[in-house]
A = this chain, B = another copy of it.
């Protein structure tokens, strides 16, 4: 662990100056402040006082950072994460980041200061640069380097299952519809599994995809239905349930009926009852298992244990509904 001397040496100032910066002393020039803060950041230096606090009173707070709790997939995930944290004696701090870097980074900052014990995150920014080594973070779906353990569903197998189930339901020409993350995420494996399986089975397929930072409902479907290759598609795999439902709705307006004219499979399993229709055929994410596993791995990290994998992929299942 770097010391206050290391910070002083790197910044080219005395130890007393570093101490004044840490304690928010007024008599520090802006230039000195910048130099010292840069050295603190570069070394991931944690002031003694905080280090002492860390030993004396560990925070029992875990932050959950996700785009929006309103999303049914995330609210189910948060439900089980809170339940598992409660069993382990931790409390949940919730942040809807909306993908905003400032909101995401705030919590990783608190983590560096030991004001939260750990973070479970579904993040859209490069957090790896701004955190210390071996810090207790579990990332859902997004795979960073070795520092950050990732928990995700088995997206690749999910894509393969979707292709096979469309074919089983009678589809001869299939399309993959996807909203792609603007940062690298395991979600892309849904597409890769689908493509590989289509090739292996010799099924005609094509890909229609847009990035989440420019995605727009109207344009996405206008472009899809304008493509010549769209003619004759009788099987669709959408990379989320919501996108599958949107496709079904748009197709219906053009007289294309599900499942009579086209079979549709989504991904997630957000419908927790069969009261609302169509009940989607879908690749169901094991949300409860992912949530509990994330917390268990996080607690191990908090307690200083080494984890044996960098990425944990939880098996998915096909759930048949009314759309295949």
Question: Interface-forming stretch among A120-128, A175-183, A270-278, A303-311?
Answer: A270-278
Known interface pairs A75-B69, A75-B72, A275-B245; A93-B96 also in contact (CB < 8 Å) = no
The answer to the question of A103 belonging to the interface, with a C-beta cut-off of 8 Å to chain B, is: yes
Count contacts on A: residues with CB < 8 A to the other chain.
33
Q: How far is the CA of A93 from the CA of B83 in the complex (A)?
A: 13
The answer to the question of A141 belonging to the interface, with a C-beta cut-off of 8 Å to chain B, is: no
Minimal Cβ-Cβ distance residue in B for A68: B79
Q: Which of B72, B93, B245, B278 contacts A92 (CB 8 A)?
A: B93
Known interface pairs A91-B93, A94-B92, A275-B249; A70-B79 also in contact (CB < 8 Å) = yes
Q: Which residues of B contact A245 (CB under 8 A)?
A: 273, 275-276
By the criterion CB–CB under 8 Å, are B70 and A76 in contact? yes
Return A68 CB to nearest CB of chain B, in Å: 6
By the criterion CB–CB under 8 Å, are A94 and B72 in contact? no
By the criterion CB–CB under 8 Å, are B82 and A95 in contact? yes
A 65-102 binary contact with B (CB < 8 Å = 1; else 0): 00011101001101100110010000111111000000
By the criterion CB–CB under 8 Å, are A93 and B93 in contact? yes
Q: How far is the CA of A69 from the CA of B92 in the complex (A)?
A: 12
The answer to the question of A61 belonging to the interface, with a C-beta cut-off of 8 Å to chain B, is: yes
Most buried by B among A75, A76, A242, A246: A75
Instruction: Give residues 54-72 of A contacting B (CB, 8 Å).
Output: 61, 64, 68-70, 72
Instruction: Give residues 265-293 of A contacting B (CB, 8 Å).
Output: 271-278
Q: Which residues of B contact A277 (CB under 8 A)?
A: 276-278
Q: Which residues of B contact A76 (CB under 8 A)?
A: 70
Q: Which of B68, B78, B242 contacts A69 (CB 8 A)?
A: B78
Q: How far is the CA of A273 from the CA of B217 in the complex (A)?
A: 13
Minimal Cβ-Cβ distance residue in B for A116: B91
Q: Which residues of B contact A275 (CB under 8 A)?
A: 242, 245-246, 248-249
Q: Which residues of B contact A61 (CB under 8 A)?
A: 93
Minimal Cβ-Cβ distance residue in B for A250: B275
Q: How far is the CA of A83 from the CA of B95 in the complex (A)?
A: 9
Return A78 CB to nearest CB of chain B, in Å: 5
By the criterion CB–CB under 8 Å, are A95 and B92 in contact? yes
Q: How far is the CA of A278 from the CA of B275 in the complex (A)?
A: 9
Q: Which residues of B contact A94 (CB under 8 A)?
A: 64, 78, 82, 92-94
By the criterion CB–CB under 8 Å, are A96 and B82 in contact? yes
Known interface pairs A276-B276, A276-B277; A79-B69 also in contact (CB < 8 Å) = yes
Known interface pairs A245-B276, A277-B276; A96-B69 also in contact (CB < 8 Å) = no
Return A69 CB to nearest CB of chain B, in Å: 5
Minimal Cβ-Cβ distance residue in B for A96: B82
Task: Knowing that A69-B79, A79-B96 touch, tell me 7 more A-B residue pairs with CB under 8 angstroms.
Answer: A64-B94, A69-B82, A245-B276, A246-B275, A248-B275, A249-B274, A277-B277
Instruction: Sort A-B residue pairs by CB-CB distance and give the 3 closest, nearest first.
Output: A75-B75, A276-B276, A245-B275
